[in-house]
Amino acid sequence: MNWIEATSEVKPFSDRPILCYCPQWNDSGYQIAQWNHGKFQYDEGPNGSFDEHVEKWVSFLEAD
């Protein structure tokens, strides 16, 4: 897996699942999310601060 820093100029495609490394967000340190409207989000997010906790991200390889 090639992890990309959240602060990188490279951003994920919108509305596709990505794996986020966010060690301060939850016990596992990872969250499945999406890149929407210029920030990292996921549907079950309890508040609007998830994006601030993402340190790195990686795309899943999808099979068609």
- pLDDT-derived band at 64 (thresholds 50, 70, 90) equals very low
This prediction's pTM? 0.88
**Domain ranges across the chain:** 4-59
pLDDT at 63 over 80: no
DSSP 3-state percent helix, strand, coil across the chain (nearest 5): 5, 35, 60
pLDDT tens digits for range 29-60: 999 999 998 999 998 878 889 999 999 999 97
- d(CA 7, CA 42) in angstroms, rounded, equals 18
